[in-house]
Structure 1
Amino acid sequence: MIMHGVNAVYKTYPFDFNPVAGSSNSLTPSDAAEMASLGFDVVRLGIVWEGLEPGSTEDYAEPATAADDNSKAICTEGLVNGAGTAGPGGSDSQYNQSTLQAYVTAVRATVDLLASYGIYSLVDMHQDVYNAHFAGEGAPDWAVCTNGLPPTNTGNWSANYFTPAVGVAFDHFWDNDVVGGLQQNYDAVWHQVASALAGDPGVVGYDVFNEPFSSEIGTVAGNAAFDAKLECFYTGTSTPGEQAQTHAPLLCPPTDPAVGAIPSIESGDPNHLVFYEPDVGNDFGDANYIGPMPYPNLVLGFHDYCLASAGQAYFDFYGSPACSGPEQTVMQQESAARASAATRYQPGGPAWFMSEFGAGEDTTDLTRVAGLANANLLGWTYWQWKQYEDPTGGSTEALLRSDGSVDPVKAAVIVQPYAQAVAGTPTSMSYDPSTHHYSLTFIPDPTVAAPTVVFVPVNSFYDVYRSGYCATVSGGTSTTAGDKVLIAADPTARAVTVTITPGTCLG
């Protein structure tokens, strides 16, 4: 199964979506219908910790300030008392069940809307630069512990990562060394979300933490040290994973929760997939040192971007010839990491998925990364559907323009035929956006009765396949059903090759 789709993340209050057109956070039935017509069958749907557990002092009518940071009841360094002071049942609780339930109800409404158009939701706990006080989003104000350091806004959100207060705030989260128990609270909220969505067939899985950052990354030793902390955050101390290189048991800090983020999610929902990300340096080609983790249903989720010029915002660097190597390196690094993360639950390693790429209109870059995904038989979600007043993105990231039309520059590359379901094992897949020729080869599985399904964008806004297309099959037969080509393998076929080209078949 290969999925194509988009991200939809609203990063500021109310941190969710409105099904009515005209609002800045709208995700409407018309949006879902447009997504489906483009062949998208998955949305990486953002949720934000601050929206789930804003705390008792948050006032969204006021500008973001540091007034609620560094609470002594939460940020005093020391061992966590039980579940922590700020979470469910804590002595200084910032948790409110009705607030969380109202948020999850809004999320479920969006999930169900998308599902009614055949689109799955990958529920993504999103953050960038930790908190709004750093020109980002994610953690609630009460969970910001900076040892009293004030926020510094450089005027460039991505550069803010490297300011002192941001580094300290992240360190306290990953070290889990304050009495408020930041990880315990994060994990408890995730458990509540997963429990609430466990029975929803429109959910494909959960993305635990977007683009994990630490001031340690930037060197090989630093990346490895932080990835060990990150793996412990995912697992907890009671069932730790293994080191990536030696496969020795990972020794997790005693301050970490016994039950980490992944088992917290899986205890609430044992059936849906759990997507874990390596540290944010992996987005640009750093090595992935996350080792095997002893849980089922895992997917290695990663992003593929090029940081061509230091000091620029992530998404304003397109057109650089320096991007080709790093973007290919990302694929190679994640492929190697996936193989080394094999467990008894997943002997071949976890599945993998490119949950972000693009975020701009440079067709050279989009073509290159989408081509790498095809070559690696990878599904993906483009960043992102609309601009959504994104405080930590780029000005040209939206696929749907402000007038409601699809951006033809981006869509000409990423709206393409692809195999939505394969009755066997795919061995190669390619698409040439200059000729609109698509090819798929797979080894059929005779035990699978369902056909292989290839989407063709016949209803798309641009006139490529609308006037007709030719589906040629070697080793099988094909029939068409709307925007789908259904392929049945011949009983004796060892391999099946499908090609899609614009225009009618000759002869």
Structure 2
Amino acid sequence: MGGMRTDGDGEAHDETGGAAPGDAPESAAKRRPRSRPWHAAVLALVLALAAALLVAVGPSEADAPPDAPTGRRWITDQGGRALVLRGLNTASSAKDDPRGLPWITERDVRREYEGMGSNLVRFLLQWRAVEPRPGAYDDAYLDQVAERVRWYAKRGYRVLLDMHQDVYGPGTSGNGAPRWATESDGLRAERTDPWELGYVEPGALRAFDHFWGNRSASRDLRRHYAEAWRHVARRFADEDAVLGYDLMNEPWGGSVQGPHFEAGPLAALYRQVIKAVRTVDRDHWIFVEPEAVSTNWGLPSALPYFEDPRGDGDRARIGYAPHLYPLPMDLGGGYDGDTARWVDRTLSSWRQQVERTARRLRAPVLLGEYGLNVSLPGALEYVAKVERMAEEMGAGTAYWSNDPGSWAPWDAKGRPTPLLPVLDRPYPRAIAGDPKAYTWDAAARTLRVSWRGRADINGHTEIYLPKRTFPRGGRVTGAAVVKWDAGARVLTVRSVPGDQAVTVTPKP
């Protein structure tokens, strides 16, 4: 999401792209302004929509027993190790950059790794940059993306390539789709405040309807989208650092919404793209997102199960990548008072609904986006709570975003913000077995990781220990240490078949 930012005065400004690090956008905010009187009317409309969605999903989708085996699925590497993925979205600046590229340099990637030990980046792509003309692909653009993938690969990152859109594309005052694929029939599509209302501008609605086939378009836009993904997947099929492909950022159904959209046009597109990707890439993960307008707020999803042409069960590599933006925070609130109580209810519902959908999809969970202006009251407490929830769920996280400013771990001058210590948490990067649990007790400065080892898994368990909490490394009980890499801050412990429970505390 996001294409604008708000400064402290609440005024909206365009984000700039392609800037040098020192001139990077001041904020990565998703243009979520402070509350205004008319928000009450918007809120009432949203609540009515939410109630309608709950009724529409009903027990057949939301409460049906999952047909997947009991137990949680994990994102795994080629050796079979379970991956715990933590990192940032990169970057909002790519949306408006003429090249479709983020502002970062390799120096910024190095700073990010050294500052918070992340091992994941959700890297934004733009369809307009991939396919600037119908059926013509810009391989020079993909070469530049590949160069940035290599920057991350040097530091052991996994790169999730995200085909990003907000409000369809530049032709509807958004980002993502090329102008040739924007059929708005000359209807108005202006920038709005808040930016999310751009989705209901007549021109944007019409463009989405033509894309999804709600209205007849002049060309098969969904086929073009699938073929663009096939071209991207062919380019990155042999890149080991690429985790996989996030098929569409926060899909919006135009005039078709809720379960009818998710189980209808959206599911059909996902099946089409999955099939296209698997013709050229059999191994990388493919991630699907639900309709954002409901799932972001903790409401159910009606996405159906998707078959993976590479096989079923453990062979399947389809992941679920929902986002989390509680409604009061969408309206500019922090995490305090009545807002905090509402947000807590949202988190509880979001977790329940996401885990229910993941069981139906038989898919591991990756929280593809969450974040807020960390200068707001209680914001850091909220971030810590979301990270703890993700640990309990065994879900990876990609915080929004690395664009310097009040939403980010660094400001425009490269100085750490108060967010950085909250995100810089100890965690097991890779677990050589079936994980049971991992928890970080900040007060006791103790990390506990437990898993059941398996003989068919290659490699050992790797644990990231930040310098701020483990300045001299960790003292380990429950497993033998293979090595301690003080530069990368990674502790490797030996894994053996059977149950293992490892406790790591700072060395004195």
Fold shared per TM-score above 0.5: yes
Question: Which of 488, 493, 497 is the matching residue for 2:494?
Answer: 488
**Distance between the aligned counterparts of 2:112 and 2:495, measured in 1?**
30
Secondary structure of the residue aligned to 2:305 is coil
Check the 8 A contact 1:45/1:121 in 2, yes or no.
yes
TM-score by length of 2: 0.74
CA deviations over 1:131-178 (Å, ceiling 9, x no partner): 234442111122222233211333321122233322222122112631
Secondary structure of the residue aligned to 2:218 is coil
**Distance between the aligned counterparts of 2:159 and 2:458, measured in 1?**
26
Check the 8 A contact 1:114/1:120 in 2, yes or no.
yes
Q: Kindly state the Cα deviation for residue 402 of structure 1 after the two structures are TM-superposed.
A: 0.6
The residue correspondences of 1:81-480 to structure 2 (distance < 5 A) are: 87-88=134-135, 96-97=136-137, 100-175=138-213, 177-215=216-254, 222-228=257-263, 229-235=265-271, 260-280=272-292, 281-295=294-308, 296-308=316-328, 312=331, 317-319=334-336, 320-321=339-340, 322-341=342-361, 349-361=362-374, 362-387=379-404, 396-407=406-417, 409-448=418-457, 450-458=459-467, 463-466=468-471, 468-474=472-478, 476-479=479-482, 480=484
Cα distance, 1:289–1:216 mapped onto 2, change above 3 Å: farther
Unaligned segments of structure 1, at least 5 residues: 18-24, 56-86, 89-95, 236-259, 342-348, 388-394
Root mean square deviation of aligned Cα = 2.2
Check the 8 A contact 1:338/1:350 in 2, yes or no.
yes
Question: Which of 83, 105, 109 is the matching residue for 1:28?
Answer: 105
Structure showing greater Rg = 1
Cα distance, 1:146–1:115 mapped onto 2, change above 3 Å: same
**Distance between the aligned counterparts of 1:179 and 1:157, measured in 2?**
28
Greater CA drift, 410-419 or 139-148: 139-148
**Distance between the aligned counterparts of 2:406 and 2:301, measured in 1?**
29
Cα distance, 1:162–1:449 mapped onto 2, change above 3 Å: closer
- Partner amino acid for 2:327? L
Residue aligning to 2:502: 498
Residue aligning to 2:56: none
Secondary structure of the residue aligned to 2:279 is helix
Cα distance, 1:118–1:309 mapped onto 2, change above 3 Å: closer
Residue aligning to 1:13: 97
Q: Identity over the aligned pairs, expressed in percent?
A: 25
**Distance between the aligned counterparts of 1:307 and 1:197, measured in 2?**
36
**Distance between the aligned counterparts of 1:40 and 1:353, measured in 2?**
14
Q: Kindly state the Cα deviation for residue 328 of structure 1 after the two structures are TM-superposed.
A: 2.7
Residue aligning to 1:84: none
CA deviations over 1:313-350 (Å, ceiling 9, x no partner): 6xx65543111121232222121112112xxxxxxx12
Q: Kindly state the Cα deviation for residue 191 of structure 1 after the two structures are TM-superposed.
A: 1.0
- Partner amino acid for 2:353? Q
Please state which structure has a larger fraction of its residues in helix. Answer: 2
**Distance between the aligned counterparts of 2:233 and 2:118, measured in 1?**
24
Larger RCO: 1 or 2 (CA < 8 Å, sep 6+):
2
Cα distance, 1:168–1:11 mapped onto 2, change above 3 Å: same
Secondary structure of the residue aligned to 2:475 is strand
Q: Kindly state the Cα deviation for residue 429 of structure 1 after the two structures are TM-superposed.
A: 1.4
CA deviations over 1:447-482 (Å, ceiling 9, x no partner): 445321111112xxxx3322x3543323x3335332
CA deviations over 1:377-397 (Å, ceiling 9, x no partner): 11111111124xxxxxxx622
Q: Kindly state the Cα deviation for residue 109 of structure 1 after the two structures are TM-superposed.
A: 0.9
